[in-house]
Amino acid sequence: MRIGFIGLGGMGVAMARNLVAAGHTVLVWNRSPGPAAELAAAGAVAASIEEAFATGTVLSMLADDQAVTERLLDPTVLAAAPAGALHVNMATISTALAERAAREYAERGLRYLAAPVFGRTEAAAAGNLTIVTAGEPATIAKVQPLFDVLGRRTWTVGEAPAHANLVKILGNYLIACSIEAMAEATTVIEAGGLDPALFIEVLTDNLFAGPVFAGYGGMIGKRSYEPVNFRLPLGFKDVGLALAAGQERNVPLPFGGVLRDAFIEALAHGQGEQDWSAVAETSRRRAGLV
């Protein structure tokens, strides 16, 4: 299949590389040219956004609402897209933007599908992502072979693209809540003179098995926040999306306020380039352990 791929951060590079390896012709674009050149050396084709859309099927993995709005809701880009062209947005964006994108694409005779993913960069590299999608069944069926390359399983949660984004936002909210809970617990353990890393190992051996507690818990317990799989500002962005989703639906998220303030404090202390699990250092600072 001839497809476009827009947005080559850590996740996007891994995903596009897998599509190339699976035999697809992949036209790639990124704001900074380095990742596109790297993929071109691996068999992809460096292209413009317009050229990516000209394939008729374009996947994107941009960072936030602003990037999606500027690049993929640009009237000039959409006007140049061929009739019926499909955009599969695999990033975490607000439900409001997903609704707007679906509406504006439909008005232009284009198709829009939401397919955000769960999984860190190593899962993306292994083709082991969990894909959550929502849109027209026939459209999902068209790109399912691509999803099969990128992920271990695809979950269809509705026909309105925003439904997939709501699932993704609240999923990330739960991960953030887990990170904060582990941060608080390990801080008490450390203050009590015990080994936080051993504490996490005890609990993840059986009681809290799984990638969130084992992966992020291991980083928190050892205070080792590399490799950076998901930058702290992106975690802050997703907490904000969860709070906004709750507010729009008159559902309070009391713990969301705790998370928001913890992330703000981490950013104020210069942690913007660290993994979002490094927000655990906020608990240690508050306890006087830093």
**Range in 58-62, 66-70, 170-174, 226-230 the model is least confident about:** 226-230
Amino acid at 199: F
- How far from 158 is each of 67, 95, 136, 191, 234, CA to CA, in Å? 25, 13, 8, 46, 25
pLDDT band at 85 (very low <50, low <70, confident <90, very high): very high
* Model pLDDT, residue 37: 95
Q: Please provide the DSSP assignment of 121-142 as one string.
A: HHHHHTT-EEEEEES-HHHHHH
The token pair at 65 is 């609402």
Q: DSSP 3-state assignment of 153? A: strand
Mean pLDDT calculated for residue range 90-103: 97
Mean pLDDT calculated for residue range 262-280: 98
Residue limits of CATH 3.40.50.720 in the chain? 2-159
Alpha carbons 42 and 205: distance in angstroms, whole number: 39
282 contact partners, CB below 8 Å, separation of at least 6 = 183, 262, 263, 265, 266, 269
pLDDT band at 19 (very low <50, low <70, confident <90, very high): very high
pLDDT band at 290 (very low <50, low <70, confident <90, very high): confident
**pTM tops 0.85:** yes
Among residues 113, 143, 138, the alpha carbon closest in space to that of 24 is found at 143
Q: What are the phi and psi torsion angles at 249 (to 5°)?
A: -110, 15
pLDDT band at 189 (very low <50, low <70, confident <90, very high): very high
Mean pLDDT calculated for residue range 213-232: 94
Residue limits of CATH 1.10.1040.10 in the chain? 166-286
Alpha carbons 3 and 85: distance in angstroms, whole number: 11
Greatest distance between any 2 Cα atoms in the chain: 65
State yes or no: is 168 an active-site residue: yes
Give the angle subtended at the CA of 31 by the CAs of 90 and 109, to the nearest 5°.
Answer: 50
- Catalytic choice (142, 168, 222, 237): 168
Yes or no: say if 180 and 262 are a contact pair by the CB < 8 Å rule: yes
* Model pLDDT, residue 57: 98
Query: What radius of gyration do the chain's Cα atoms show?
Result: 20
CATH number of 2-159: 3.40.50.720
CATH number of 166-286: 1.10.1040.10
